[in-house]
Amino acid sequence: MTDEHPNATIVRRMYEAFAIRDMQTLRELFADDAVWHLPGKSRISGDYRGADAIVNDFMARIGPLSGNTLKVEVLDIAVSSDHAVAIQHATAAHEGRTLDVTACQVMRIRDGKIVEVQGHYSDLYAMDAFWLA
C-alpha cells in the first residue's frame, strides 16, 4: 500500500467534512484568501472570495437549498505538487427538480490549504435548473 499524496488527503477531507456538514473543518481547509468559482446563472453561481464566504455563503447554503438531499461522491482524485483535480458525481432531488451531474473540481493548493477551486460540470443547464437560475 502506498501513502496518499498530501493534496489528495486535503481534498478527501474536504469532501468528507462536506458530507457531514462539518463547517469548522471545511473552514480550516481553505486559505483565508481562497476563491471558489462556480459557473452558471443560478442563485449559487458566482465567485466566492475568502474562506468565510466559501463556507458560509456557499457550502452552508447548498444543503438547505437542496432540501438537504445533495449527495456528492468522489470518483477519483489526481494531484500534483500545487493542484488537485477531484472528479465527482452529484445528485439531489427537491421540490420536483432533480440533479444528476458529474463534475471536475480543479483546485490549487498552497501550504496545505485550498486557495482556488474552479468547477467544470457535465451539464451546466441542469445545474442552473436545479439551483433555480
Domain boundaries, the chain: 6-130
Concatenated DSSP letters of 67-127: TT--EEEEEEEEE-SSEEEEEEEEEEEETTEEEEEEEEEEEEEETTEEEEEEEEES-HHHH
CATH topology of domain 6-130: Nuclear Transport Factor 2; Chain: A, (3.10.450)
Query: Each residue of 81-100: pLDDT tens digit?
Result: 999 999 999 999 999 999 99
pLDDT confidence of residue 3: 87
2 pLDDT band, cuts 50/70/90, is low
pLDDT confidence of residue 22: 96
pLDDT confidence of residue 28: 98
AA letter at 17? A
Query: Each residue of 50-62: pLDDT tens digit?
Result: 999 999 999 999 9
